[in-house]
Amino acid sequence: MAAKKANKVKKGKRPADLGDRIIDAALLMAEADGWESVRLRRVAEGLGISLADVQARFQDLDAVADAWFARANAAMLASRGRRFAALAPHERIKDLMQSWFDALAPHHRAGAQMLAAKLYAPHPHHWVPLIFTLSRTVQWLRDAAGLDARGRRRQVEEVGLSALFLAAIAVWSRDDSPGQERTRKFLDSRLSQADRVMGCLWPSRDHNA
């Protein structure tokens, strides 16, 4: 039933790409029954397509999860407003990371379960690629925030932001507060601390991000 809802197209709107429809159907199924209960054959049946059509776009269910997190990356990179360049570096980072989590918020339960599945110890084929995915996300975050450090300073930023992202994900996964307020406060606190340490190294407030 959940997958069938995802197959409907509102009048006047272009049909969604099949890959997006598969993701949306899987998310709806996860919200109803839990991520572990999602089966791609049921997604295919609900969308009226073959399992081969699904396989042509996603190697497995974990790839569907990766594609959904890629949407959060896109939302993060598209979130910079007119005031963004005038913000201090730690404020830019906070805005970008909050946009990432806000993009996942409509399917918070499913997202938390996806992450738990990826970090499940007996599944190194999931959590090892997650490390590289996080690294790419951090690189995009640094670029969008206008952090152009090189050498040792860049390494410090990358390690620090990766650790922050992982810690924020852990908070977000358990965050049932309105508007993800607990996650927002966590990011604000940690990034304010980081600014006191890195403030002399980060670009100035008027850096053109």
Q: Give every CB contact of residue 144 below 8 A, 6+ residues apart in sequence.
A: 76, 77, 80, 92, 96, 209
| pLDDT value for 117 | 79
Domain boundary assignment for the chain: 2-55, 61-198
| pLDDT value for 192 | 86
| pLDDT value for 12 | 43
Q: Give every CB contact of residue 21 below 8 A, 6+ residues apart in sequence.
A: 6, 7, 47
| pLDDT value for 202 | 54
For the segment 57-92, what is each residue's pLDDT rounded down to a tens digit? 999 998 999 999 999 999 999 987 778 888 888 899
> For residue 10, how far is the Cα from the chain centroid?
26
| Distances from the Cα of 61 to the Cα of 25, 93, 203, 205, angstroms | 12, 30, 40, 42
Which of these CATH numbers, 1.10.357.10, 3.30.2010.20, 3.40.50.300, 1.10.10.10, describes 61-198?
A: 1.10.357.10
| pLDDT value for 14 | 47
Mean pLDDT by 10 residues, the chain (209 residues): 48 68 96 94 97 96 92 91 83 94 94 81 55 84 90 88 91 94 94 70 47
